[in-house]
């Protein structure tokens, strides 16, 4: 008869995610996981197979439970330029709380060169970001908020690029850099408005 687990699997998964997030894959040993999760090696392997499988599951959990839900406001049908600005401002403020950076970005920097699953998971995140931002920009264009000359695909990818830089600066605790750069980024988005362009032309 198979043994039943006497612990909450999701709770331990979250604990493992936090440990990997803080220490990285290479610097997290099985002994670290056993100690941090409070379960023995047999239970760890029985529940999660091995360290690498557990790591991949943690990344999937991060995407589905943390990254993707944060895009909810951008995913609304009426999301436009103001929704993008609000999202980016929240994202910038978040860096003060997440001093270990982005778990997914950390994983890509550490393992994308040797782990295709990490690379593919990262691609999923960036694609989702690009899609959400791009759709909000298209909505703004359709609503006559921004001009038809704005290339929404290029702009959404530019914003994804800026977000990765914000993450790195947040991890380095360069909050003044982020604050000043955000002033410029928000002003740049406001400059896409048709009303702004009309006033400039006058």
Average of per-residue pLDDT across 19-32: 97
- Cβ–Cβ under 8 Å, residues 159 and 97: no
**In percent, how much of the chain has pLDDT > 90?**
87
User: Model's pTM, two decimal places?
Assistant: 0.89
In the predicted structure, residue 4 carries a pLDDT above the cut 70: no
Greatest Cα pair distance, the chain, in angstroms, is 81
pLDDT at 121: 96
pLDDT at 76: 87
Q: How long a stretch of residues is the chain? A: 202
In the predicted structure, residue 3 carries a pLDDT above the cut 70: no
In the predicted structure, residue 38 carries a pLDDT above the cut 50: yes
pLDDT at 6: 79
Q: Phi and psi at residue 27, in whole multiples of 5°? A: -90, 0
Average of per-residue pLDDT across 66-75: 91
For the segment 125-176, what is each residue's pLDDT rounded down to a tens digit? 999 999 999 999 999 999 999 999 999 999 999 999 999 999 999 999 999 9
pLDDT at 2: 45
Looking at every residue in the chain, the average pLDDT score rounds to 92
- Comparing 7-11, 97-101, 141-145, 197-201, the range with the smallest average pLDDT is 197-201
Helix H or strand E segment including 107 = helix 103-111
142 vs 197, which has greater pLDDT? 142
For the segment 104-131, what is each residue's pLDDT rounded down to a tens digit? 999 999 999 999 999 999 999 999 999 9
Residue-range domains of the chain with CATH: 9-59 (1.10.10.60), 63-201 (1.10.357.10)
Whole-Å CA distances, 170 to 101, 102, 122 = 7, 9, 19
């Amino acid at each position: 008869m198979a043994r039943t687990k006497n612990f909450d699997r999701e709770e331990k998964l979250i604990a493992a995610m936090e440990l990997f997030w803080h220490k990285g894959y290479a610097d997290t040993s099985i002994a670290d996981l056993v100690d941090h999760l409070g379960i023995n090696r047999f239970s760890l392997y029985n529940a999660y197979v091995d360290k690498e499988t557990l790591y991949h599951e943690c990344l999937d959990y991060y995407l589905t439970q943390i990254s993707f839900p944060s895009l909810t406001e951008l995913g609304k049908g009426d999301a436009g330029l103001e929704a993008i600005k609000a999202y980016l401002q929240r994202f910038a403020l978040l860096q003060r709380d997440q001093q270990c950076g982005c778990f997914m970005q950390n994983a890509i920097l550490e393992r994308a060169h040797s782990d295709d699953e990490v690379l593919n998971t990262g691609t999923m995140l960036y694609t989702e970001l690009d899609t959400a931002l791009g759709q909000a920009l298209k909505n703004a264009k359709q609503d006559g908020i921004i001009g038809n000359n704005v290339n929404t695909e290029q702009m959404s990818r530019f914003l994804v690029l800026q977000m990765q830089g914000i993450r790195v600066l947040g991890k380095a605790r360069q909050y003044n850099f982020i604050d000043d750069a955000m002033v410029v980024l928000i002003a740049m988005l406001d400059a896409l408005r048709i009303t702004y362009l009309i006033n400039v032309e006058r």
